[in-house]
Chain A
Amino acid sequence: MARAVSTRHKTIVTILAWSIGFLIFFPILWTVLTSFKTEAEAVASPPSFLNFSWTLENYTEVQSRSNYARHFYNSVVISVGSTLLGLLIAIPAAWSMAFVPTRRTKDILMWMLSTKMLPPVGVLIPIYLIFRDTGLLDSVPGLVVVLTLINLPIIVWMLYTYFKEIPGEILEAARMDGATLWSEIIHVLTPMAVPGIASTLLLNIILAWNEAFWTLNLTAANAAPLTAFIASYSSPEGLFYAKLSAASTMAIAPILIMGWFSQKQLVRGLTFGAVK
């Protein structure tokens, strides 16, 4: 039976939800606002919220000082590349774990997830040395590989959850109909798991786009993505808050816009299987 909810209760909950939403969004809003201030106004106390002289000089300065397009291109290649490579590995892995589980499947899944609990800095030295010796330092392929491996457990876990929702009988029917393993994955499983695969893809692009630890430590000039572009404005000679904010806004804008347009897909994918 549906529970009656009073208008007052609804109003309180709505106000609370909007307040929490605004609180979470505030740092982004503040960054965007600061990017339109002068350096002096950016550090002024008390700070001005909207009442300042709006300027685009930080953007022109940032654009002239660094090559935004190249960083942007690197970010796109690294995030999309690592996600696609991850999916290519994770789809067969998740298939086998979901449809041909063994006694150890749950343990393997837990072990994969446990690698995410390890602080990345713990493996920085070995990975750095391997990259140095194999010539992968400051290279886009190197970052694609490392980000694929970093996010692989999440991709496998997400896909495993989606695949588990697909009735095994449908795959058995495909087998009876003469489908080979690959045609079963290509013609039946993948199209049925499209919502799940799409949300995994989107979430991993976001994770890879925002990844800072490895992208900062393994790049110098050639392969540096937008995270390194932001970090370059936090220099030892002093923080330039307005320029840093402009760089940050330029770095997060593409992914924010992508997230905005795909939010329906993201939410659908993240809650997939939660309610039968």
Chain B
Amino acid sequence: MGQITLKQVTKSFGNTDVIRPLDLEIGEGEFVVFVGPSGCGKSTLLRLIAGLEDISSGQILIDGQDASHTPPAKRGLAMVFQSYALYPHMSVRKNIAFPLKMAGMDQAAIDAKVNGAAKVLNLTDYLDRRPGQLSGGQRQRVAIGRAIVREPKAFLFDEPLSNLDAALRVNMRLEISELHQSLKTTMIYVTHDQVEAMTMADKIVVLSAGRIEQVGSPLDLYRHPANKFVAGFIGSPKMNFVTGPEAAKHGADTIGIRPEHLKLSDSGWAGKIGVTERLGSDTFLHVHMDGMDTMTVRTEGDTALKYGAPVHLTPDPACIHRFDAQGKTLA
């Protein structure tokens, strides 16, 4: 239960192609993250799977059954929205119970399910409150509770943590991952935050301009990006790119080096220290290079280097990514 297959799915709004012909296989119980920059079509793709938008062509199969034109409620999927989309006039209890009430379930069964979900999500004390009386994190938990009680084939999350502050986001990220471990239900999660994608996903789908750029596990994408776009998008801080003669030396149009694969050395590419970002465990040095773009270097612990200090950088030769003129990774 919870296997989703997209076959040549497209979506156009008028003359604008938002999703270009796209194939994707989402396995049972997988945690799949759609990631990409704003406007890449990731939310649209999720809405197509949910049935909130009609596909222009292609097929969506849920557990082998063609669901391309099945209404949202009949697809057996539950969705958690970015804005939580709670019913403001209903109590938490009624919000969570709403899908069960719509399904015509009897009151005793509804109560049991609502209480069960509230216990799992630590909402028992808030059941009689209205959404307006809850914090952002609590509201998000109510939205998840409303999805859980339906026992869906798959959960769809549309940027669910975007409205939360940084600390709460980390907590909720863990809670959702824990939930996935305990429920073992397929989850499709949309985000523009590649850290969320890396930390939560079994499988990441990187999208750009309505196309899938690459599908793979977080580390697979990190270590073996299929192209320059994925290389630049996955990883924080971003990969450094070098073009021109230095790239040509490696037989490529562009080479990419991750910040942790650049070392401060006595010789090599020359530059001057710019802004230094100290995170405690790591320090990011932004180095203004001579004749090249600014590069970011990750060093362990602290650094004594001051703004403007001259430095030299050397890339780890085993970790250089090579790209051709079209941005594709060279073998």
| Complex CA–CA separation, A179 to B50 (angstroms) | 14
Pick out which of these stretches binds chain B: A140-148, A168-176, A197-205. A168-176
B99 touches A178 (CB 8 A): yes
> Is B98 located at the chain interface by the 8 A CB criterion?
yes
Produce 1/0 per residue, B2-20, CB < 8 A to A: 0000000000000000000
B83 touches A167 (CB 8 A): yes
| Complex CA–CA separation, A179 to B89 (angstroms) | 16
A170 touches B85 (CB 8 A): yes
| Complex CA–CA separation, A176 to B71 (angstroms) | 9
With a cutoff of 8 Å between Cβ atoms, the chain A residues found around residue B71 in the complex are 175
With a cutoff of 8 Å between Cβ atoms, the chain A residues found around residue B81 in the complex are 169, 172-173
With a cutoff of 8 Å between Cβ atoms, the chain B residues found around residue A179 in the complex are 73, 98, 102
Partner of B85, one of A169, A178, A183, A194: A169
Within 8 A of A (CB), among B200-216: none
Produce 1/0 per residue, A142-180, CB < 8 A to B: 000000000000000000000000010110111111110
> Is A192 located at the chain interface by the 8 A CB criterion?
yes
B103 touches A178 (CB 8 A): yes
| Complex CA–CA separation, A177 to B72 (angstroms) | 8
| Complex CA–CA separation, A173 to B82 (angstroms) | 11
With a cutoff of 8 Å between Cβ atoms, the chain A residues found around residue B98 in the complex are 174, 177, 179, 187
B73 touches A170 (CB 8 A): no
> Is B132 located at the chain interface by the 8 A CB criterion?
no
A191 touches B77 (CB 8 A): no
With a cutoff of 8 Å between Cβ atoms, the chain A residues found around residue B86 in the complex are 170, 173
Given A167-B83, A177-B99, A172:B52 Cβ within 8 A: yes
With a cutoff of 8 Å between Cβ atoms, the chain A residues found around residue B150 in the complex are 177
A175 touches B89 (CB 8 A): no
| Complex CA–CA separation, A173 to B160 (angstroms) | 13
- A interface secondary structure, majority: helix
Given A176-B72, A179-B73, A192:B89 Cβ within 8 A: yes
With a cutoff of 8 Å between Cβ atoms, the chain B residues found around residue A192 in the complex are 87-89
A176 touches B73 (CB 8 A): yes
| Complex CA–CA separation, A26 to B325 (angstroms) | 82
B326 to chain A, nearest CB (A): 39
With a cutoff of 8 Å between Cβ atoms, the chain B residues found around residue A253 in the complex are none
Closest to A166 in B: B88
> Is B258 located at the chain interface by the 8 A CB criterion?
no
B78 touches A176 (CB 8 A): yes
> Is B40 located at the chain interface by the 8 A CB criterion?
no
> Is A121 located at the chain interface by the 8 A CB criterion?
no
A173 touches B102 (CB 8 A): no
With a cutoff of 8 Å between Cβ atoms, the chain B residues found around residue A191 in the complex are 89
Closest to A183 in B: B102
Partner of B52, one of A170, A176, A183: A176
A167 touches B73 (CB 8 A): no
Produce 1/0 per residue, A28-60, CB < 8 A to B: 000000000000000000000000000000000
B271 to chain A, nearest CB (A): 45
Within 8 A of A (CB), among B52-71: 52, 71
A188 touches B72 (CB 8 A): no
Closest to B99 in A: A177
| Complex CA–CA separation, A170 to B146 (angstroms) | 13
A205 to chain B, nearest CB (A): 24
A177 touches B102 (CB 8 A): yes
A175 touches B72 (CB 8 A): yes
Top 8 closest pairs, chain A to chain B, by CB: A177-B99, A178-B102, A173-B85, A178-B73, A169-B85, A191-B89, A169-B81, A176-B79
Additional A-B contacts beyond A169-B81, A179-B102 (18; CB < 8 A): A170-B88, A172-B85, A173-B79, A173-B81, A173-B87, A175-B72, A176-B72, A176-B73, A176-B78, A176-B79, A176-B99, A177-B102, A178-B73, A178-B102, A178-B103, A179-B73, A188-B87, A194-B89
30 A–B contacts, CB within 8 A, in A order? A169-B81, A169-B82, A169-B83, A170-B85, A170-B87, A172-B85, A173-B81, A173-B85, A173-B87, A173-B146, A175-B52, A175-B71, A176-B50, A176-B52, A176-B77, A176-B79, A176-B99, A177-B98, A177-B102, A177-B146, A177-B150, A178-B99, A178-B102, A178-B103, A179-B98, A187-B87, A188-B87, A191-B89, A192-B89, A194-B89
**Which B residues are closer than 8 A to A by beta carbons?**
50, 52, 71-73, 77-79, 81-83, 85-89, 98-99, 102-103, 146, 150
